[in-house]
């Protein structure tokens, strides 16, 4: 989920994607003759956004509303301009944090065009200035309401670990990496036994995985290759199961009896981060 350079294409609904991960614009937008587009930009300029739209989607939408956010200053003041270079496109510039009334005005501008069968596409380059202005929840709730009578597709972006669970639950799909510390705390809360074995034996477990020449070993096979260890095949198996829960490795599904672990999915960087977090916890 945060390791890919490109995320999945978003269909109708509300979608949360990770900042810095390329999110394709939905190709079906090319088939719509009545789509209204709202783009809330923090990095791209309006010109860059329009170039991307025309490159990936093609024809200009029926309506195009752009809100650019300047994060270098802190104010809720907003100014509106419709320069000739943007034709009929509505362009608004504001500064961070973005207040709820600025977001509401932006959506209202986009929805003023009469449309018997409206389709709305919303692109939020970063939720950070909206969250700072307490605008994220009102925006998502409004889009949910609009989705009851129109086709609404929204793609919002956020940094890893910057969106709490309550907000994430307002989305239909979430592709934002969860911080390692949060994964470990969830493991501790939901499966304290597995957490305890991993905390005690993560170094031996790491060694067993990295020295193995097997792709789909059982815990007893990995244990047999350890020369000096405090683990047993059973305790090593519990620690391995904890790594499955943390997405460090996966179970191999094509098996019966004892679990086999798919070491071809081993994420060494993630295990290093898990180990660092556990080691730091030991010294606290």
- Please tell me whether residues 202 and 168 are part of one structural domain: no
Question: How many independent structural domains does the chain possess?
Answer: 2
Is residue 158 assigned to a domain? yes
Q: Is a pLDDT exceeding 80 seen at residue 151?
A: yes
* 38 bridge partner residues: 65, 122
Final residue of a structural domain among 160, 177, 194: 177
Final residue of a structural domain among 121, 145, 177: 177
Domain containing 233 — which CATH number? 1.10.10
* The two three-digit tokens of residue 260, written as one number: 């086999």
The average pLDDT across 216-242 equals 95
Instruction: Give the domain extent around 278.
Output: 181-283
Check residue 275 and report its DSSP letter: H
Final residue of a structural domain among 162, 177, 192: 177
- Please tell me whether residues 172 and 216 are part of one structural domain: no
pTM of the model: 0.66
Is residue 37 assigned to a domain? yes
- Please tell me whether residues 57 and 108 are part of one structural domain: yes
- Please tell me whether residues 46 and 62 are part of one structural domain: yes
Is residue 25 assigned to a domain? yes
Q: Which has the minimum average pLDDT: 11-15, 76-80, 182-186?
A: 76-80
More confident residue, 80 or 284: 284
- Please tell me whether residues 46 and 114 are part of one structural domain: yes
């Amino acid at each position: 989920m945060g390791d890919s350079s490109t995320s999945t294409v978003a269909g109708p609904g509300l979608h949360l994607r990770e900042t810095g991960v390329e999110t394709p614009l939905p190709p079906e937008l090319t088939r719509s003759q009545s789509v209204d587009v709202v783009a809330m930009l923090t990095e791209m300029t309006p010109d860059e956004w329009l170039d991307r739209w025309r490159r990936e989607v093609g024809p200009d939408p029926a309506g195009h509303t752009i809100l650019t956010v300047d994060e270098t200053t802190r104010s809720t003041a907003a100014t509106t301009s419709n320069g000739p270079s943007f034709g009929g496109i509505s362009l608004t510039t504001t500064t961070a944090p973005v207040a709820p009334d600025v977001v509401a005005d932006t959506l209202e501008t986009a929805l003023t065009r009469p449309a018997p069968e409206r389709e709305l596409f919303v692109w939020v380059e970063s939720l950070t200035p909206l969250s700072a202005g307490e605008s994220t929840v009102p925006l998502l709730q409004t889009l949910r309401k609009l989705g009851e009578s129109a086709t609404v597709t929204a793609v919002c972006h956020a940094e890893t670990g910057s969106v709490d669970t309550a907000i994430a639950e307002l989305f239909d799909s979430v592709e934002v990496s969860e911080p390692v510390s949060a994964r470990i705390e969830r493991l501790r809360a939901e499966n304290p036994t597995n957490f305890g074995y991993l905390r005690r034996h993560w170094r031996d477990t790491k060694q067993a995985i990295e020295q193995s020449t097997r792709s789909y070993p059982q815990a007893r096979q990995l244990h047999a290759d350890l020369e000096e260890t405090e683990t047993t095949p059973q305790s090593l198996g519990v620690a391995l199961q904890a790594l499955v829960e943390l997405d460090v490795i996966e179970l191999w599904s094509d098996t019966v009896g004892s679990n086999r672990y798919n070491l071809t999915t081993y994420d060494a960087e993630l295990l290093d981060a898990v180990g660092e977090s556990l080691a730091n916890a030991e010294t606290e």
